[in-house]
Amino acid sequence: MTDDFNIRNSDWNPNFQHHSTYTEDLLTITDSLGLELSPPLNPRPTRYANNTRDFNSVIDLVFLPPDNRGFRQHMLHPDICKPSDHVPLTIEVGITETNTDLSFRSISKDSEEEENFLALLISSFSNINSLTITTKKELEGVVQQMADTFKRSWNNHVKLKYITKYLKEW
């Protein structure tokens, strides 16, 4: 998990003398997800102040599973941060030689399938009468119709794709 958390804290920024009130909340959430703060291989600020009133700070953080060998420590790249005031972060992801046999279903962006999927949704949703809803049960019925329509349209247009260690499927 990584983000610009906008939380300044001496735990990850030794130049900052205070603890933010949000630190405990962030650490509680990451702990509940089984993640720990990952120190960068090359520690330095992750945000550079663009005026003299502010200080450079460490607010972009990475949290990783502690025992996962697939995700390794991250690096900061201050040499390529312009025009942003934030430093890009990269993390090494180890990919094993074994075939993982992972697949997923998707509709390719800007494809004919996407166009047909959206057309079917629009057509089907326009036929659902939501103007006469007066009870919770009627609302639940309309929502269920919409969910069924979405599922039917998705299943009619989705394609199964495989994740492989190769650039192309062979």
Whether residues 62 and 30 share a domain: the answer is yes
Q: Which two tokens stand for residue 37?
A: 């703060």
**Residue in this structure with the two tokens 């492989």, named with its chain if needed:** 164
| Most confidently modeled range among 5-9, 17-21, 69-73 | 5-9
Distances (CA, A) of 95 to 41, 61, 88, 121, 128: 20, 23, 22, 38, 47
Residue 43's pLDDT band (cuts 50, 70, 90): confident
Residue type, 135: T
In a domain, 88, yes or no: yes
What pTM did the predictor assign?
Answer: 0.53
Compute the CA torsion angle 13, 19, 20, 26 (nearest 10 deg): 80
Look at residue 168 and tell me if it is in a domain. no
82 & 37 share domain = yes
Q: Are 88 and 77 in contact (CB under 8 A)?
A: yes
Residue 73 and residue 91 in contact, taking contact as beta carbons nearer than 8 Å: yes
Burial class of residue 47 (count of CB atoms within 10 Å of its CB; 0-12, 13-18, 19+):
buried
**Encoding tokens for residue 147?**
């969910």
> Which positions ≥6 away from 66 have C-beta within 8 Å?
34, 35, 36
CA distance 61 to 90: 11
Residue 170 counted as domain residue: no
Strand partners, 16: none
Closest CA to 13 of 76, 93, 64: 76
Count of structural domains within the chain: 2
pLDDT value for 117: 92
| pLDDT band at residue 92 under the 50/70/90 scheme | confident
- What integer pLDDT is reported at residue 114 of this predicted model? 92
Domain boundary among 72, 93, 114: 93
Q: Pick from 93, 125, 148: which residue ends a domain?
A: 93
Q: The tokens of 8 are what?
A: 């300044």
Structural domain of residue 130, as residue ranges? 102-163
* Residues 66, 9 share a domain: yes
Q: Token digits for 92?
A: 């090494």
Residue 15 binned pLDDT confidence (cut-offs 50, 70, 90): confident
Output the average pLDDT for the chain. Answer: 83
Verify that 7 and 85 share a domain, yes or no: yes
